Structure 1
Amino acid sequence: MPDAQTLPLLLRQLRLPTMAACWTQLETRARAENWSLPQTLAALCEHELAERERRRLARHLKEARLPVGKTLETFEFAAIAAEQRRQLSTLAGDTQWVDQAHNLLLFGPSGVGKSHVAAGLGHALVDQGYRVRYVTASSLVQELQAAKQALRLSDALIKLDKYAVLVIDDIGYVKRSEAETSVLFELIAHRYESASLIITANQPFSAWDSIFPDSMMAVAAIDRLVHHATLMELSGESYRKRAYQRQLQGGKAGSSD
């Protein structure tokens, strides 16, 4: 006859810690509501799966390194055009573009919300089960350069393959040197048609010769990026300027009381 006292130990050995933690509470409820054995087991399994999903989401959100608070819910959509609002809503809700390894390229001057939009889409994708990594272009170049100097660039690129979406922020701030931009090109070529990139840039393609010192490399990089991509140009007043103006208006309103 099985001993009920060993159940918590058995559940932990089976790597079912949530079941082990909540089975007594659910047993009490099952007795009170006359649940059948299959109903009780189903309830235990639902708790275990829900906790696993919560832990998976927390783990993937941590590894994504997305800026805290920069979600689509906190973005000022009123500051961008209606068509762009619809586009972003579609990209966040219909993730077929990620499954097809398409890219998203966000252009615009500093302060219009490119980084916020990129991070917000990253958060939305993590919530839907995708693995995402956010990194500034300068940090990524340093990371890949170090790997190349250690003769491990191929390994570093393969390691990034686990992320369905790689968010590269501020590509325009990469320093112009062949050593630095060549690793960026190798990353773009490596992920071409295999995994998605979200890239923010404050320079149009016509000025990318300031990023890639070799014009042929610039053309080849752009060609791979745009082959399967959505291009979006954000414009308008700087977010920081708008925030400062609101602060001034608030101060004026307060001083008039």
Structure 2
Amino acid sequence: MIQSEKLKEHARRLRLYNIANRMDSILHHAQEEKPTYSEFLSLVLGTEVEMKERKDYERRLVAVRLPRKHDLDEYDYNFYEGIDRRQMKELRELVWFRETYNLILIGPSGTGKTFLAAGLVFDAVKAGYKAYLMTMEDIVNCLRLKDISTPAMMTYNKILRAQLLAINDIMLFPVKRKEATAFFNLINTLHEKTSIIITTNKAPTECVETLNDEILANALLDRLLYRCKVIKFYRQ
């Protein structure tokens, strides 16, 4: 018992808290199974790695703030029109994402764009990547406040570190010139470093009207449409 407590204290001082918390069960398993030294060491270290990876996954999943419907295993191909099972399988393999391609999902409200975007972010998080889903409004507010608000700057830095960023409802409402410029600068910074998913109910050419700046809109489209797949959704 004394030796067990000493081992727990050593583990805590080394910040191996998962090993410390499960020390009794680890030692009991060793007494029952009598593993070799290497097997026992693998069990001990594997316990810490497994729990840390699980907590990291849970932390990243909470940070994403996904909508209730985000598991693409539940995607209803009879309800949504625009993508078939073969296309879905290809998208969920994440090859496009690893090669830093973008996706633009276009269609009316209620056609499954957000569901697909959230689902692909969820798949990326499960695969161990830093992926986030944000609305255009969230991003504009972040850019507007980042120089005067610590939480906004933290969100901004999170975006810069993202490997996949899904932007929901882009250009749903008109954007002021200053905000549009800040948004372009962000996309330009992420260009060829971060894969971007865009959901929108507007055709790319309509961005000109929303931004009210043809040169800026064309420059933004140039970044987003570079190495990009466009998927159109329809109402049934």
TM value normalised by structure 2? 0.89
Helix, strand or coil at the partner of 2:140: helix
Q: 1:90-101 to 2 correspondence within 5 Å?
A: 90-93=90-93, 95-101=94-100
1:100, CA displacement in angstroms?
2.7
Find the aligned partners of 1:176 and 1:164 in 2 and give their Cα distance: 25
For the Cα contact (< 8 Å) 1:11–1:19, is it kept in 2?
A: yes
CA gap of 1:158–1:24, structure 2 versus 1, over 3 A, is closer
Report how many residues are paired.
Answer: 233
Find the aligned partners of 1:98 and 1:79 in 2 and give their Cα distance: 26
Q: 1:27-106 to 2 correspondence within 5 Å?
A: 27-80=27-80, 84-93=84-93, 95-106=94-105
Instruction: Provide the residue aligned with 2:9 in structure 1.
Output: 9
User: Which structure has the larger Rg over C-alpha atoms?
Assistant: 1
1:80, CA displacement in angstroms?
4.1
Deviation per residue, 1:197-250 (Å, 9 max, x gap): 11101011121122221111111111111111111111123xxxxxxxxxxxxx
Find the aligned partners of 1:121 and 1:175 in 2 and give their Cα distance: 27
Letter in 2 for 1:160: I
Confirm whether residue 118 of structure 1 aligns to residue 117 of structure 2: yes
Greater share of residues in helix: 1
For the Cα contact (< 8 Å) 2:82–2:233, is it kept in 1?
A: no
For the Cα contact (< 8 Å) 2:163–2:194, is it kept in 1?
A: yes
1:169, CA displacement in angstroms?
0.2
Q: 1:163-242 to 2 correspondence within 5 Å?
A: 163-237=162-236
Letter in 1 for 2:89: S
For the Cα contact (< 8 Å) 1:174–1:181, is it kept in 2?
A: no
Letter in 1 for 2:220: A
1:158, CA displacement in angstroms?
4.8
Find the aligned partners of 1:194 and 1:90 in 2 and give their Cα distance: 21
Runs (5+) with no aligned partner, structure 1: 238-257
Find the aligned partners of 2:87 and 2:148 in 1 and give their Cα distance: 40
For the Cα contact (< 8 Å) 2:142–2:153, is it kept in 1?
A: no
Deviation per residue, 1:32-66 (Å, 9 max, x gap): 22222222221122221111111010011111122
Helix, strand or coil at the partner of 2:167: strand
Letter in 1 for 2:57: L
For the Cα contact (< 8 Å) 2:102–2:224, is it kept in 1?
A: yes
Letter in 2 for 1:224: R
CA gap of 1:59–1:69, structure 2 versus 1, over 3 A, is same
1:77, CA displacement in angstroms?
2.5
Letter in 2 for 1:165: L
Find the aligned partners of 1:235 and 1:70 in 2 and give their Cα distance: 19
TM value normalised by structure 1? 0.82
Deviation per residue, 1:176-195 (Å, 9 max, x gap): 42123222211211111111
Find the aligned partners of 1:61 and 1:85 in 2 and give their Cα distance: 25
For the Cα contact (< 8 Å) 2:168–2:200, is it kept in 1?
A: yes
Letter in 2 for 1:209: V
Letter in 2 for 1:177: K
Instruction: Provide the residue aligned with 2:136 in structure 1.
Output: 137
